[in-house]
Copies of this chain bind each other. A is one copy, B any other.
């Protein structure tokens, strides 16, 4: 089901397939070399695996190399809230690592490969590689901003606005890391996942999806999303226009 690749050939950081992408900042060769030593290995898991468990402290930090995952929290009676999605290049585990208490879970939506970094070397990193430390903080602040945005959506937007917002968010996020095929994107999650992200019931999510399709700006069939009119979708979703700069890749 899941294992940390032992002798198996792993991707060397200098040949990281993500780093050349425009969304990621350039990094000095020295820092790339350090990241290579910081990387303890790779974790290759199948779809539906739990990478970080709620209520259990994680001893690792991860960068997703390929695949999709999501962060979530659940209540005892089973109600689940998906807090954010994880795409290639996203760095996760800081919360579960630094804080000692309850945290979120992370599950994969597809087969996925993670770079694994040992938490115990984080302090060493802060001492000896301030640039990377700064980048980690930058990413944490960025995630915070995303969560603010999601809170605004769930707390104050209508079902239709929320759904339009979420689909645009996923589309835009996927575009950053080159996952689009033209104006099409293969989404790995079910409508139940979307519902748990939006704070809506499954049934109502489905009906809202119908409505959104009727508006003519999107297609979504067989989990393939096609964006016909991105601007209209953004307006419907009350999306703030964001000029996002390149971000660091850990």
**Chain A residues proximal to chain B, CB less than 8 Å:** 71, 73, 75-76, 79-81, 83, 94-95, 97-104, 122-123, 126-127, 130-131, 133-134, 136-138, 140-145, 147-152, 154-157, 196-199, 238, 240, 242-245
Contacts and interface: CB of A to CB of B under 8 A. Distances in A.
Contact of A154 (B80, B134, B151): B151
Contacts of A244: 100-101
Contacts of A75: 152, 156-157, 238
A147 B137 contact: no
Contacts of A140: 137, 140-141, 144
Contacts of A243: 100-101
Contacts of A144: 94-95, 140, 143-144, 147
A47 to B, nearest CB: 23
30 contacts: A71-B148, A73-B148, A73-B149, A75-B238, A80-B156, A81-B151, A81-B152, A81-B156, A95-B148, A98-B138, A99-B141, A100-B243, A100-B244, A100-B245, A101-B242, A101-B244, A102-B145, A123-B134, A126-B137, A130-B133, A133-B133, A133-B134, A133-B137, A136-B137, A137-B140, A140-B140, A143-B144, A144-B147, A154-B199, A155-B197
Contact of A137 (B98, B104, B199): B98
A156 B94 CA distance: 24
Q: Most B CB atoms within 10 A — which of A79, A127, A137, A155?
A: A155
Nearest to A128: B130
Contact of A127 (B97, B103, B130): B130
A73 B151 contact: yes
Contacts of A73: 148-149, 151-152
A148 B144 CA distance: 9
Given A73-B152, A80-B156, A147-B148, A95 B141 contact: yes
